[in-house]
Structure 1
Amino acid sequence: MNSVTLNNGVTMPQLGYGVWQVENELATKVVLEAIEVGYRSIDTAMIYRNEKGVGEAIKQSPVPREELFITTKVWNSDQGYENTLRAFEESIERLGLEYVDLYLVHWPAPKFDKYIDTYKALEKLYHDGRIKAIGVCNFEIEHLQRLLDECEVVPVLNQVECHPYLTQTELKSFCAEHNIFVEAWSPLQQGGEVLQLDVVQNIAKKHHKSSAQVIIRWHLQNNTIVIPKSVTPSRIQENFDVFDFSLSDEEMNLLSELNRNERKGSNPKDMHVC
């Protein structure tokens, strides 16, 4: 299992398991499955409504808590300093944990203009030792720059939609300049059109791997943290079996050249849903 060292010295698995759109009861089952396979990083959020299920899996797992890396997030409707502090307490209560390893601002929601106060609440929780690391999701360069200008703690990562149709090259360069990791959500692209492309399937055949494994490997070799999601046991296993092969520079470039700057998810500048 590959790990990365975040800008505050905390170590995080580079490959994790995401539980977006996984119902609460099912979350317990599939997170236990993922931990058994070897995943040690689990990514949830308040809005996923499965923190309780994830927490139950952590409780039932034979793997010690300190060997797991748990991420959750504050939602748009909970933004603001005091609201965020309250939302965090509610999240850890649902999770049944004393601390989380990573707490993220889920969206900048610039229309509300509360993400600076929200992040300052994360800074307090971080300084109080309730969180091992803090970061953001779906922040564009302008949002990150304002955060860097007005806040004290540099976010350890920015979790964004990223896949071969949306390589986020400019954003990744900015993050690299400021020692901020990029973490890919929807790493296999919602709908999976990328997986069906001839170029991807040809690379997969060459390595005797699946298209999904090739794309996950592409993320890893791009120094991106990645959190694929599946509720199918065979795919949970398959998505983890990506450390026994490497893509060539030519193959990496072929995949990167697929970029269309095409989102499947919301645009961060327009996302204000509560």
Structure 2
Amino acid sequence: MDPTVAHETFKLGEFTVPRLWTGLWQLSSNAWGTASVSKIRQAMGRHVDLGHTAFADHYGSAELIYGQFRASLESPESVLGATKWCVFKPIEITQESVEAAVRQRIERMRTERVDLLQFHWQDYANRDYIQALEIMSKLQAQGLISAIGLCNFDALHMDDICVRFPGTIVSNQVPFSVIDTRALYALGDVCTKHGVKLLTYGTLCGGFLAERWIGEPEPDPYSGSLNPSQRKYLDFIVKAWGSWSLFQDLLIALRNIGQRHAGASVSNIATRWVLDHPFVGAVIIGARLGCTEYPSDNLKVYGLSLTAADRDEIDVVLARSAERRLIETIGDCGAEYR
């Protein structure tokens, strides 16, 4: 990376944060590969040293390990920890139940307040999520939460929430990639309307958007060689988006573009494409901390500037895919989890 290239940042509530975040969802299971907690904390340190100071997710031991790492820093406030409160099954929404969920995260993350609490609600038909957000807003005023975000809310419900709670919601964590472009539809407009930023995941499709898959045969999802994310995104690529052959054409196009940009990687180009949308705040890149991680390579994204010709080359491939129909066949962002 050119040392003169500055890290890109954006405002998220009271914070100024980088546009590349480290996703911790792979700490949820050994199925992704695992390392000792000490090695994971060391990997977090390497990320912070390179300017990757924002970490996100709560699955498995993610909050606990992040909390241990945060407590070890001389300046704990130099990092940001984003976690979630996901309500998958009906619960009674009361001041006590919501506050208990928030305080549990504070305790696990060893902090005085939650930096960013991202809220997921499974059943839109149950409107109790409005009451939950009202209570979260009160807890924010009391200093237990710094910023409130959403997770996997679609455009319709996000717009309603932002109208009900003006200025309260700062982000929505949703899938967005050169493969999954559903966020380009109504959700992007809602973000622009309310000044909310998307925090995107799935941007590298579980690692499929990388050179190593160029020229490779379509993998067998039942071979045991794929991790959970790869099985999920392989199914998306070959059943919803297009085919493995068309995906190869996309990889080659991304590689060709990267070669025109000082040898930037396929992953760099795919990430830059997402970041170039003004309603996107940050891309959350999942890392197998202590096992497989690419913090230095990811920094090359900050020095990239895609041209109109670059974007056109990508669009030529996308026009042959079903990406424009995904909003109809799958539904808006988050519909696949409901």
TM-score range, shorter chain: 0.7 to 0.9
Aligned 1:192-207 pairs, distance under 5 A: 192=208, 196=214, 197-207=251-261
Residue aligning to 2:63? 51
Give the drift of 1:110.
Answer: 1.6
Q: Residue 116 and residue 179 in structure 1: after superposition, are their counterparts in 2 closer, same or farther (change >3 A)?
A: same
Give the drift of 1:52.
Answer: 0.4
Q: 1:176 aligns with which of 192, 200, 205?
A: 192
Task: Output the amino acid matched with 2:17.
Answer: M
1:135 and 1:156 in contact (8 A); partners too: yes
Indicate the larger mover: 232-241 or 125-134.
Answer: 232-241
Give the drift of 1:266.
Answer: 10
2:158 and 2:190 in contact (8 A); partners too: no
Give the drift of 1:96.
Answer: 0.8
Give the drift of 1:70.
Answer: 1.5
Give the drift of 1:147.
Answer: 0.9
Residue aligning to 2:141? 127
| Separation of aligned partners in 2, 1:234 and 1:211 | 15
Q: Residue 242 and residue 100 in structure 1: after superposition, are their counterparts in 2 closer, same or farther (change >3 A)?
A: same
The C-alpha deviation readout for 1:86-127, integer Å capped at 9, x for no partner, is: 111001101111122211103453244332122222211221
> How many correspondences in the alignment?
269
Residue aligning to 2:307? 248
| Separation of aligned partners in 1, 2:164 and 2:15 | 23
Q: Residue 219 in 1 paired to residue 274 in 2?
A: yes
Residue aligning to 2:247? none
Residue aligning to 1:104? 118
Residue aligning to 2:10? 4
Q: Residue 271 in 1 paired to residue 337 in 2?
A: yes
| 1:242 match: secondary structure | helix
Q: 1:35 aligns with which of 45, 48, 70?
A: 48
Give the drift of 1:267.
Answer: 6.1
Task: Output the amino acid matched with 1:16.
Answer: W
1:98 and 1:130 in contact (8 A); partners too: yes
Residue aligning to 1:14? 19
| Separation of aligned partners in 2, 1:173 and 1:256 | 21
- Which has the greater radius of gyration? 2
Task: Output the amino acid matched with 1:114.
Answer: D
**Structure 1, unaligned stretches of length 5 or more?**
none
Task: Output the amino acid matched with 1:113.
Answer: R
| Separation of aligned partners in 1, 2:138 and 2:297 | 39
| Separation of aligned partners in 2, 1:98 and 1:125 | 13
TM-score, normalising length: structure 1: 0.86
| Separation of aligned partners in 2, 1:248 and 1:61 | 40
Task: Output the amino acid matched with 2:83.
Answer: T
Indicate the larger mover: 148-157 or 115-124.
Answer: 148-157
Q: Residue 185 and residue 234 in structure 1: after superposition, are their counterparts in 2 closer, same or farther (change >3 A)?
A: closer
Indicate the larger mover: 263-272 or 146-155.
Answer: 263-272
Q: Residue 107 and residue 186 in structure 1: after superposition, are their counterparts in 2 closer, same or farther (change >3 A)?
A: farther
Give the drift of 1:191.
Answer: 5.4
1:105 and 1:137 in contact (8 A); partners too: yes
Q: 2:98 aligns with which of 56, 80, 84?
A: 84
Q: Residue 72 in 1 paired to residue 72 in 2?
A: no
Identity of aligned residues (%): 23
Q: Residue 204 and residue 102 in structure 1: after superposition, are their counterparts in 2 closer, same or farther (change >3 A)?
A: same
The C-alpha deviation readout for 1:61-82, integer Å capped at 9, x for no partner, is: 34x1222121111021486343
Q: Residue 271 and residue 248 in structure 1: after superposition, are their counterparts in 2 closer, same or farther (change >3 A)?
A: same
**Structure 2, unaligned stretches of length 5 or more?**
1-6, 30-36, 215-250
Task: Output the amino acid matched with 2:55.
Answer: I
Q: 1:145 aligns with which of 159, 167, 171?
A: 159
Residue aligning to 2:227? none
Q: Residue 241 and residue 57 in structure 1: after superposition, are their counterparts in 2 closer, same or farther (change >3 A)?
A: farther
Indicate the larger mover: 191-200 or 204-213.
Answer: 191-200
| 1:182 match: secondary structure | strand
| Separation of aligned partners in 1, 2:209 and 2:152 | 22
Give the drift of 1:27.
Answer: 4.5
1:108 and 1:139 in contact (8 A); partners too: no
> Which of structures 1 and 2 has the larger relative contact order (alpha carbons within 8 angstroms, sep 6+)?
2
